Amino acid sequence: MNIETATLLSNEPAYEGARIAWLHAPGVSANVQPGQFVMVHCSHDGLDPMFARAFSYYRVDGDRFAILYNVVGKGTGWLAERGRGDQVRVYGPLGNGLRLPDQAGNLLLIGGGVGIAPLVDTAERAIAAGHQVVAMMGARTAAHLLPASAWPKEVEYVVVTEDGSARPKGFVTEHLGQYQEWASRVYACGPSAMFESLANVLRQNGRRQRPEILMEENMPCGWGMCYGCAIFTKHGVRLCCKDGPRFNLFDVF
């Protein structure tokens, strides 16, 4: 783990209610694994809010990295107001990332809302390693979808919206269809309700796809000191930041 004062390079809208921030931080950008996260202090003095905020690595490029975040509270509101050249205290990379297969395969990536963030970096790495990738994103409306241009051109991008403004209508786990049969491995990130639904769907297909998920619990410290992100698994209590955020889907749901 590295602790740095990062320089904000850009901070632009991604879709309704969300932004993408690029930060220059050589140490925090080094040796990042897909699915890991970074802690960002979203205040001038580190006191209000006191705790840093955890964000997945959305993309990594040399000595800079990007995060995709929803503007939902005081911390992310503060971050949304920062501009090019502003300084932000960060530390990472943290957590256990996703494990891509050694042999080329068919990878299905499923994201619910801002949970799509770490899957873009995962897709880039997977394509570079010779995998075939389908990425599915579920959102409330078409205005809350990540644009297709965010993905490598080799990725098949499928969207689902709850209101049907971008079809098909419903929840993303209701439309896995042929993709779950095609996939040799499944990776997902999103809210717990999505994971529970995903587990129910994948249990029915009788395949051993070893689905890996990235949990979205609140992580005040990021390294297992505060126990604020404890979750219950079939193997006992685990800390999302230290033991995760990667878990086997069926160990939790």
**pLDDT of res. 44:** 80
Rounded-to-10 torsion of CA 56, 72, 212, 116 = -70
Q: Going from the first residue of the chain to its last (253 residues), give the mean pLDDT of each consecutive group of 10, the final group possibly shorter.
A: 96 98 98 98 80 96 98 95 97 97 96 98 98 98 98 98 96 95 96 96 84 94 92 95 97 96
Note the pLDDT of residue 206. Answer: 74
Q: Write down the pLDDT at residue 211.
A: 96
Angstrom distance (rounded) from CA 157 to CA 152: 10
One-letter identity of residue 34: P
As a whole number of angstroms, the distance between CA 82 and CA 43 comes to: 10
Amino acid 59: pLDDT: 98
Q: Where are the domains of the chain?
A: 2-94, 106-252
Could you please state the CATH topology (level 3) that the domain comprising 2-94 is classified under. Answer: Elongation Factor Tu (Ef-tu); domain 3 (2.40.30)
Q: Note the Cα 75 to chain centre separation in Å.
A: 18
CATH architecture group of domain 106-252: 3-Layer(aba) Sandwich (3.40)
- Kindly report the pTM of this predicted structure: 0.96
The number of residues in the chain equals 253
Domain 106-252 in the same topology as domain 2-94:
no
Helix ranges (DSSP H) in 117-191: 117-128, 177-182
CB under 8 Å to 15, separation ≥6 — which residues? 143, 144, 145, 146, 147
Q: What is the pLDDT of residue 47?
A: 65
49, two tokens: 């809010």
What confidence score (pLDDT) does residue 208 get? 72
Helix (H), strand (E) at residue 201: helix 192-203
Give the model's pLDDT for residue 46: 63
SS3 for 76-91 is HHHHHCCCCCCEEEEE
